[in-house]
Amino acid sequence: MLESKKNRILLFVSAFFIIALVLFAILRDNSESITLSQATQMLLDKDVTKVVATNEYVYLKTENGYFKIASSQVTPQMFTNYKVEVGSESNILIYILFLVLFLGLGTMLLRFLQKRDGFQISKDGISRNASSKPEISAPIEAIKSDVSFDDIGGISDVKIELEEIIDFMRNPKRYKSFGARLPRGVLLVGPPGVGKTMIAKAVANAAGVPFYYQSGASFVQIYVGMGAKRVHELFAAAKKNAPSIIFIDEIDAVGKKRDGQRNDEREATLNQLLTEMDGFEASSSVIVIAATNNIGVLDSALLRAGRFDRRVFVELPTKRERASILEKYLAKVPHNIDTLQVADITVGFNGAALAALVNEAALLALRQNEFQVNIEHFYQVKDKVMFGKKKLQMLNDKQKSYLVTYQAGKALIATYFDLPFEKLMLSNEKLLPVSNEAFLQQDLEAQVKMHLAGVVTCDLKYQQHASSAKQDLDEAKELVRKMCDEYGMSTSILGDANEQQNVLDRLYGECKTLLESNSELIEQIESILYERESITKNEIKKLFR
């Protein structure tokens, strides 16, 4: 069918050129140019039988052919014995015929394309109808994975889970002789930036098999049926080159729960994915690895046994894992630091954030013309990586005094309860990193007090606080709500609104008592913050002593 369309288009183009050549041969100016002396001699010899004048040339017809001379070279007196006819430019006539021919054939071609291929003409140009057939997508090809497990730090537990799959793909006979089969699917679950894609590439590299990478979004097509077709092509290519690995990143883009809301294309694509995974033969040696940030949104049919048989949870790295990751990234960076020390100040960082941290520290060292990166560089760029670079807004003296007091109270409480921070900047709204680690009740209460500390300190000194306290107050209320409603950390397991208010009032009172008893210390912290606009945890500890 496609070949037939190509032939028709080629026929139209060929016909256009043939007709154009014929018209050019017929209508082109084939007269011979002559000089003034030659024209004068022809007129004197009375060889000229007809004279035609145009704006550009004067044409002389003789028995030997047609001749022309530029109109600017002759005078009317030369043709007193001849009847001069006024003619039009033949070139103009040719141009007009060419234009008519081009428009005619162009219209015929567009109508043909509109009928056959669904093109339509609009004020924005030529576009394809939504109901027409889309262009053929590029063939799916395997990519070469150059990532090894040695390139990834802090995933020892995950590596143990996947080594069995690697060994199976290397030595399938050993497992088949024992009656075991290869898991059809492995689901990597974890927050963004923990290295799920790198892990899948490392598995393919270690197993030495073709690696087919696709993102879930690449299956979401505007054309009905194209997503399902893409899934089929992916699995067909993987089976053809088995043993192989298919990796689908962000699978929740195509594998979300079917909630009854009609979406024919997404459901067709998901159904095709389910069908392909069911269609694996025991001997196909093709495994699907998928990654998601949120397993809760995936369709239950995708998670049942026989599809994704194994789930591997990739969590945020621990302190030792962060140190291992940092060693990888610092291998080519001249430095004089202890990775465990940097790991201490990077609670809540994922692998991608650690990579960005090392890069920012190296860039800072270069800007300062240092020969190597030191721990101070990491202190200076940590907040930039965590929260983004934020410039301190222009404040008058009174506003700055309020902000200094507010931050001084937070810094004191955070240091007193040994919360995970290393340096407080006057421009930072957040002090603690985001962490999914489990906390005891006393840890959560310490965090609530830290969020309330700025408000309490300002209330004690100025009997009022600023509107900038909104974010801290919101976080304090949310923590108290979770403590009462979700964690059962109130006087009753099922806490209500009154219980939340009681907990918040109690923690506010305890924070106020602690800050009142350390008023001199707060003044010392304020003095440092006002002058330098920053203070470290170690400096506050020295003031405590």
**Closest C-alpha to 230, from 281, 265, 279:** 265
Report CA Rg, the chain: 40
Distance, C-alpha 419 to centroid of its chain: 34
CA distance 465 to 459: 6
Is the confidence at residue 66, as pLDDT, over 60? yes
- Any domain includes 136: no
118: left (phi over 0), alpha (psi -120 to 50) or beta: left
473: tokens are 């107050």
Find out whether the peptide bond into 183 is cis, omega within 30 degrees of 0: no
For residues 406 and 480, membership in a common domain is answered with yes
- Any domain includes 194: yes
For residues 410 and 381, membership in a common domain is answered with no
Q: Assign residue 324 the CATH number of its domain.
A: 1.10.8.60
pLDDT band at 457 (very low <50, low <70, confident <90, very high): very high
pLDDT, greater one: 387 or 171: 171
**Closest C-alpha to 118, from 229, 5, 266:** 5
Structural domains in the chain (count): 4
* 186-219 as b/e: b if 16+ CB within 10 A: bbbbbeebbbbbbbbbbbbbbbebbbbbbbbebb
For residues 365 and 480, membership in a common domain is answered with no
Mean pLDDT of 260-270: 70
Q: Assign residue 178 the CATH number of its domain.
A: 3.40.50.300
Q: What confidence tens digit (pLDDT) does each residue in 359-373 have? A: 988 998 899 888 889
CA distance 57 to 66: 12
Could you count the other beta carbons within 10 Å of the beta carbon of residue 346? 24
Q: What average pLDDT does the chain have?
A: 78
Res 17: pLDDT: 66
Mean pLDDT of 488-495: 75
For residues 159 and 302, membership in a common domain is answered with yes
For residues 373 and 409, membership in a common domain is answered with no
pLDDT band at 520 (very low <50, low <70, confident <90, very high): very high
For residues 60 and 200, membership in a common domain is answered with no
Domain that holds residue 446: 397-544
Res 434: pLDDT: 57
pLDDT band at 506 (very low <50, low <70, confident <90, very high): very high
- Any domain includes 341: yes
Among 313, 342, 365, which residue terminates a domain?
Answer: 313
- Any domain includes 125: no
For residues 157 and 272, membership in a common domain is answered with yes
122: tokens are 């609009």
Specify which residues 119 forms β-bridges with: 128
For residues 424 and 526, membership in a common domain is answered with yes
CA distance 544 to 424: 16
Q: Assign residue 35 the CATH number of its domain.
A: 3.30.720.210
Res 261: pLDDT: 61
pLDDT band at 516 (very low <50, low <70, confident <90, very high): very high
CA distance 527 to 165: 60
Residues 6+ apart with CB under 8 A from 114: 120, 121
Res 1: pLDDT: 47
- Any domain includes 142: no
Cα-based distances in Å from 28 to 49, 91, 142, 172, 373: 22, 7, 58, 77, 78
For residues 361 and 402, membership in a common domain is answered with no
Sheet with 48-53, edge to edge strand ranges = 32-33, 65-70, 57-62, 48-53, 84-86
Q: What confidence tens digit (pLDDT) does each residue in 415-424 have? A: 999 888 777 8
CA distance 542 to 545: 5
* 122-136 as b/e: b if 16+ CB within 10 A: eeeeeeeeeeeeeee
**Closest C-alpha to 383, from 416, 432, 335, 350:** 432
Q: What confidence tens digit (pLDDT) does each residue in 180-193 have? A: 777 778 888 888 88
- Any domain includes 141: no
- Any domain includes 364: yes
For residues 363 and 412, membership in a common domain is answered with no
- Any domain includes 244: yes
For residues 457 and 522, membership in a common domain is answered with yes
For residues 538 and 402, membership in a common domain is answered with yes
**Closest C-alpha to 52, from 28, 34, 79, 25:** 79
Is the confidence at residue 104, as pLDDT, over 70? no
Contact (CB, 8 A) for 200 and 245: yes
Res 132: pLDDT: 45
The reported pTM is: 0.54
